[in-house]
Amino acid sequence: MKAEKRGPGFSRDFSSFGRPAGKKGQITLFIILGIVLIFSTAIIIFIKAQAKEQMPQVPTLTESLPEEIRPVRDYVQECAYITAKDAIEMIGTSGGYLGVTPGSAQYTSKRFDLDITGMDPTSHEALTVSKDWHLPYWYFMKSENTCTSNCEFDTKRPPLLKTEGSDSIESQIDAYIAENIDECIDNFAAFGEEGYVVEKLGNISVRTMITDANVIIFIDYPFRVTIGDTSSKMTQYMATLDVNLKRIYNLAGEITTLAAENKFLEQHMLNVISGFSGMDEDALPPMAGTEFSFTSKKWLKSTVVRKIQDILAIYINLLQATQTENFRVNYFPDNSVKTGLYAQMVLPLEEEHYDTSVTFNYLGWPIYFYISPGEMISARDGVSVPIASLLVPFKRYDLPYDVSFPVMVELRDTTAYAGDGYSFFFALEANIRNNKPVTEDFVAFEQMTDVTAQMQLCNDNQKTSGDVTITTVDTQNKPLDGAMIYLSVGEVMCPMGETSLDSEGKLASFTGKFPMGAIGTLVVMHPDAAPYTREFFRAGKDAMKVDKIRLQKYVVKNATAMKMNINKYGGDWLIDPAPKPLGENEEAVIMLEKVKDNPNEPDVVAAASVKANERSEIRLVPGKYKMMITLLKDKSTIVMPKQTVGGQEVPETIVVANGVFPTEYEAYVIIDNSIYNAKEIRFNALYFNWLDVPQAERTLDDMEAWGNTTQYATENINYLSPVLS
């Protein structure tokens, strides 16, 4: 039965930013990770090894036919092409299968548990996109949505090659062509009118080969063709389809692996829920929060579910993957929070896929959702605490979200079929329980008592120590009021209070009680200064005065950039230590991550982007930093010539095609207190000067050298340290 084809055909400009940790510290951590990964480029250092591997033998046509017979063979080959293309298109529409129907997949032995009604997509093995379109999950939770521990996960990802297992994509194409090519051939009716007589001599045999560059179809189908006095047996036919199905399949596999191991869909959704939650009636219920109130806030479950679906429809579609055709940097100079949120929406890929776009879709499908029994959601508990002889009710909203939802991923190769393009779809399932991604060692909320116990420390009735006095100043010993005091114990950070100026404006201090005997980390944070931490802090029954805490204030400085070329001299690549201005199509992206003095210290990060003849701003405090600088050269084209390595021929390779060519390195540097007196800070980027090497002289060793830029930086760090002026 012929499967029915279904499915739709569906300025970089960084300024500096950096924030102390806390809630916003999580955002800055994602900023640095996101931006670093955005501009990371996979270095193809394994080409040599691949070149040495024995490539599979591609069949060729060996039989010679009379000139009069060749049009008939050409006709069969055209039918082979058309039928194979139909198969590949349907495989792309159905996640690697030639149609997925209730109970089975066509042309395979696979059996699928399908969501026929389309109302419960996260309890089945495929996503029902529409009535006749079911998209298998390449990663999903096999256990029931209500599982409380030892949850199992599974995949319906088919093998690509016949050598990798049964029901492979190759074998499905074989079966489809064998069953459907006769419909295209149509008994050679078109040739009968021209006097041809075609007799079938045997059965068809199809061999599909998915190679590193295309799909090759080789068919053995015997016919005897007679025209006039000429008669000949024809057997062999071949068609080549201009679609790199292997590359697309591998990209889908890479995204699936990241979904399974890094839980990027779940992390993204948790960030979004956190951003849209709060005490307002129009907000989502908070994952964690407290309120002094006589009445508990309430939310209708049905309303919350609808809002989450609306949020998913927007924010899942905003997800991007680096090193792909449709990746774009989103940066908002006046809104670091928004920049941080967009930075979290970036999936870092290791390999380059600049000819392929990646789109994540959520189209309003039903979700699994649970916080508490019943339709009404409210505070988990409440107590009354004594404050100034009054009993004030205290409500805690540590609400555990359980959410499962489907995501459809589309990979679009814009170069396939001479620019006509090719799409491949597959589904992923995301699962959140207890406000965390579900893993195989997941344990339900009722069994998780440690965090609940830690939360009790934040209650005012636990603050029974003697008075603790904390004084805060800046690096010039001036009083610094508005510093927030926290005690961090385990996974919980309890607010203690805030420093304020005395009546004379000469002292900024806080005096208050702590949970007596609790051992944790003292955290002091100010919006204009780097966070301060002190480990193993403990308040006893006696009053105590903490040594004056000096907070390093942030300074905003002009940031400039120059470049140092790594040039090829003979067969060696060496740094030219003379700095040069950036070119018109060049941009230096600078990222700094402060090295923590202890593991509990919040993150301090900063970033800036500098173009030719421009200045940016960067926000810093003194300290030791991990510095990551990427020089981006736009509108570059780099081609590796055809070469022979280990007796194997490596074809001409396009490394970059009229796009962005990056050179990046990492190094550790110290920015001392002189930053406070400097007017600007200059950073030195490295540029791997490949374009000046004649194409005929480029070798695979050059690609390895390109990947060793950090080593060049380490060996020449004296040239690369930031310059204050």
Q: Tell me: the pLDDT tens digits for 178-227?
A: 999 999 999 999 898 889 999 999 999 999 999 999 999 999 999 999 99
Name, in order, each residue with C-beta under 8 angstroms of 497's C-beta and a sequence gap of 6 or more.
484, 485, 510, 512
> Does the structure show a pLDDT above 80 at 468?
yes
Handedness of CA 376, 397, 283, 366 (dihedral sign): negative
Tell me the per-residue pLDDT of 491-508, one tens digit each, with 9 for 90 and over: 577 888 999 999 998 999
Task: Determine if residue 32 is left, alpha or beta; phi over 0 gives left, psi from -120 to 50 gives alpha, anything else beta.
Answer: alpha
Give dist(CA 196, CA 192) in Å, integer.
Answer: 5
Q: How many CB atoms lie within 10 A of CB 266?
A: 21
3-class DSSP state of 241: strand
Structure tokens at 193: 């009118």
How far apart, in whole angstroms, are the C-alpha atoms of residue 528 and residue 555? 9
**393 pLDDT higher than 50:** no
Strands 133-141, 680-688: pairing is unpaired
Tell me the average pLDDT across 235-251: 96
pLDDT, residue 301, reads 87
- Please calculate the CA angle 715-716-720 and round it to the nearest 5 degrees: 135
Query: Given phi > 0 = left and psi -120 to 50 = alpha, else beta, which region is 364?
Result: left
* Whether the predicted pLDDT of 419 surpasses 70: yes
- With beta carbons less than 8 A apart as the criterion, state whether 405 and 437 touch: no
How far is it, in rounded angstroms, from Cα 606 to Cα 592?
5
Q: Say which residue the tokens 């006509």 belong to.
A: 420
User: What is the mean pLDDT of the segment spanning 466-477?
Assistant: 92
Residues composing the chain: 725
User: DSSP readout, 492-532?
Assistant: EEEEEEE-EE-TTSS-EEEEE--BTT-EEEEEEEETTEEEE
The sign of the torsion formed by the CA atoms of 687, 693, 699, 701 equals negative
Contact 355, 413 (CB under 8 A): yes
| Low-confidence winner among 44-58, 343-357, 664-678, 697-711 (lowest mean pLDDT) | 44-58
Res 238: pLDDT: 95
pLDDT at 715 over 90: no
- Please say if the pLDDT value at position 711 is more than 70: yes
Q: What would the two tokens of residue 408 be?
A: 């459809």
Examine the pLDDT at 578 and tell me if it is beyond 80: yes
- 445 pLDDT higher than 60: no
What are the φ and ψ backbone dihedral angles of 487, each rounded to 5 degrees? -120, 120
Q: Which residues contact 517 (CB under 8 A, 6 or more apart)?
A: 465, 538, 539, 540
Q: What values do phi and psi take at 710, rounded to 5?
A: -60, -35
The CA angle 2-4-10, to the nearest 5 degrees, is: 145
Average pLDDT over residues 148-168: 92
Mean pLDDT lowest among 40-54, 447-461, 470-484, 525-539: 40-54
d(C-alpha 407, C-alpha 429), whole Å: 6
Compute how many other C-beta atoms are within 10 angstroms of the C-beta atom of residue 697: 10
Residue 54 confidence class, pLDDT cut points 50, 70, 90: very low
Measured CA to CA, the distance from residue 392 to residue 384 in angstroms comes to 5
Helix (H, G, I), strand (E, B) or coil at 313: helix
- Bridge pairing between strands 215-227 and 320-321: unpaired
Residue 45 has pLDDT above 50, yes or no: no
Q: Give CA–CA dist 73/224, Å, rounded.
A: 11
pLDDT confidence of residue 543: 94
Of 95, 101, 71, 85, the residue nearest 177 (C-alpha): 85
pLDDT band at 444 (very low <50, low <70, confident <90, very high): low
DSSP 8-state secondary structure symbol assigned to residue 591:
E
Domains and CATH numbers, the chain: 38-48+554-724 (no CATH), 62-110+158-241 (no CATH), 255-329+338-449 (no CATH), 455-551 (2.60.40.10)
The C-alpha atoms of residue 361 and residue 425 are separated, in whole angstroms, by 10
Read off the pLDDT band of 52 (50, 70, 90): very low
Residue 394 reports pLDDT greater than 80: no
User: What single-letter amino acid sits at 654?
Assistant: I
Pick 383 or 639 by higher pLDDT: 639
Question: Tokens at residue 646, please?
Answer: 């280990």
Helices (H), 316-405: 336-343
Q: What is the DSSP letter of 462?
A: G
pLDDT at residue 36 tops 80: no
DSSP per-residue codes, 247-299: HHHHHHHHHHHHHHHT-HHHHHHHHHHHHHBSSSTTSBPPSS-EEE-SS--EE
What is the mean pLDDT of the segment spanning 160-166?
Answer: 94
With H, G, I as helix, E, B as strand and everything else as coil, classify residue 479.
Answer: strand
Instruction: Strand 653-671: give its sheet, edge to edge.
Output: 605-611, 586-594, 623-640, 653-671
C-alpha to C-alpha distance for 251 and 254, rounded to whole angstroms: 5
CA-CA distance, 510 to 500, in Å (whole number)? 7
Would you give the DSSP letter of residue 578? Answer: S
Residue 63: burial class (beta carbons within 10 Å; 0-12, 13-18, 19+): exposed
Which amino acid, one-letter code, is at 2? Answer: K
Counting other chains too, the contacts that 233-236 makes at CB distance below 8 Å and 24 or more residues apart are 233/201, 234/63, 234/65, 234/69, 234/72, 234/73, 234/76, 235/63, 236/61, 236/62, 236/63
